[in-house]
Each structure stands twice: as C-alpha cells, then as structure tokens.
Amino acid sequence: MVKMRMRSPKYKDEVIASCPFLITDEINFANHNPLHIEIGMGKGNFIINMALNHPEINFIGIEKYPSVAAIAIKKAMEYNLPNLKIIISDIVNLESLLKKKVQVIYLNFSDPWPKKKHTKRRLTSPYFLELYDKLFKDKNLLIMKTDNDDLFSYSINSLKEHGYKIEDINYDLHATNIPNVLTEYEEKFSNRGIKIKYLKASK
C-alpha cells in the first residue's frame, strides 16, 4: 500500500489554530495515567475510538501532515476527550518531548516504503526502533497492523533482531477474537477482502 498525500482542506489552518488539545511544547494531561501513542494517526478513527473506549489511558495521535491532522482534529473536537492529545510533527523530532513517557506504540498501516533504498524510512527499521527505545518508560510494547505482506515480514525480522519478543502474531486479524479498533485504511482493505496482519511485540 502506498499512501497518497491528500489535498489540504480549506478549513485546515482554522481548525488547527482552534484545537484545544494540540501539543506544541509540553504534554499536559491532568493525570498520570499510562500514555499510548499512535505514529501516523491519519484521519484519527483509531486513536479517537481508543480514547473513547479507554478513559483510563492517555492517548496521543501523531501525524506529520497538517492537512491530514486537521481532519482528525475536527472529528475529535466533537467529543471533548480529556485523555486525547494530538501532535503535528514527524516522530523523529519528538525524542525530547516523549522521552521515557510512552508505554505502548501503535503502528497502523504505515507506509511500506517498498524500495530497498528507502528501508531506513520504514517505521520498524533499526533507525526507528532505536528511537522508540528512548521513548518507552519501562517495558517496550509495540502493536502493529498492516495490509502489506513484505512490510510485515520485514518488521518481524527487524523487531527480533532488535531484541523484541513477538508475543502475538496473526495473518488474518479479522478472523480472530483479538480486540480491535478499525482504522480508515483497515476498513477499506477489509471490505476488499484483503487480510489484515497483526503483531504485538515486547522488549
């Protein structure tokens, strides 16, 4: 799957400027609950529904494209969730902000970067796994979903080589009883009969 950059919605700047839960320089939840982050939240369906379903957990959705983040923000503003924040940035710029704070990282339908010369850009490459090591508070816990077979195989090997233990793995997530919140891409691919791959890895 190759993600296409969408056109910027007309309301983008207004929505972002008026967002009360946008993080720019400080994480300021009103409690000390566990923090889970989604890297590449897209239009926000997953992170919003996770926050709705788990008020005991704090969530941050991270999206580097403002045009996409604006759509998620507009959706999230309908709910006024105290346990949801959004960051518009590339994860590579957030080490100091998130250092030793994160307990779970979600990677949902990340860009597979299929060309060998782009391997480093994959969110499960050694480059990113080393970055995540600095973000996790204690135990590393990473949960991934994808439609892409090659990215999934690559990720399994990369995680194992980086010291992760694959706790759960499935090549047809929707045929299981694993608790699951759909993303926009997931719903689209599932409706086309494409099987969703899933893994949970810890270190």
- Taking only the tens of pLDDT, the chain with its 203 residues reads 444 444 555 678 888 988 899 998 899 999 999 999 999 999 999 999 999 999 999 999 999 999 999 999 999 999 989 999 999 999 999 999 999 999 999 999 999 999 989 999 999 999 999 999 999 999 999 999 999 999 999 999 999 999 999 999 999 999 999 999 999 889 898 899 999 999 999 99
CA-wise closest residue to 193 among 174, 180, 177: 174
Q: State if pTM tops 0.85.
A: yes
Contact by Cβ (8 Å): 185, 42: yes
Ordered by where they begin, the domains of the chain are: 12-21+29-202 (3.40.50.150)
Catalytic residue among 111, 147, 168, 172: 111
133 carries an active-site annotation: no
Q: Give CA–CA dist 27/86, Å, rounded.
A: 10
